[in-house]
Amino acid sequence: QSALTQPASVSGSPGQSITISCTGTSSDVGGYNYVSWYQQHPGKAPKLMIYEVSNRPSGVPDRFSGSKSGNTASLTISGLQAEDEADYYCSSYTSSSTYVVFGGGTKLTVL
């Protein structure tokens, strides 16, 4: 059981928007702005898409955005494209001895 809770799957049609949630506690997501999101295509390494809740690394399309409310962080992808189909993982610093926690991952299907 992962420390952060994500939906197992989400889907959307090309051009639509989807949101993936990531729920933690006040010791991690809710207590710090150190939430990051990773995209992982099959057989590939994870790629950083969002850091510190809402910041995009250079080269990540602005279709990807992040936000947080209370103990839940969210990743929104607007204008869905076929290449967005992948697994998405959230991660957060935690004040517990675990230091870093990941979500269980969400499989995004572009219909």
- Nearest distance, CB of residue 89 and other proteins, angstroms: 6
Closer Cβ to other proteins, 13 or 43, answer by number: 43
The phi and psi torsions of 47 (rounded to 5 degrees) equal -125, 130
Element (H, E) at 86: strand 86-93
The SS3 assignment for 111 reads coil
Closer Cβ to other proteins, 51 or 64, answer by number: 51
- Nearest distance, CB of residue 39 and other proteins, angstroms: 11
- Nearest distance, CB of residue 64 and other proteins, angstroms: 14
- Nearest distance, CB of residue 49 and other proteins, angstroms: 10
DSSP 10-66: EEE-TT--EEEEEE--TTTTTT-S-EEEEEE-TTS--EEEEBTTTBPPTTS-TTEEE
Closer Cβ to other proteins, 2 or 78, answer by number: 2
Closer Cβ to other proteins, 36 or 74, answer by number: 36
Residue 8, judged by CB atoms within 10 A of its CB (0-12, 13-18, 19+), counts as: exposed
List residues near other proteins by CB under 8 A: 2, 32, 34, 36, 38, 44-48, 51-52, 57, 89, 91, 93, 97-105
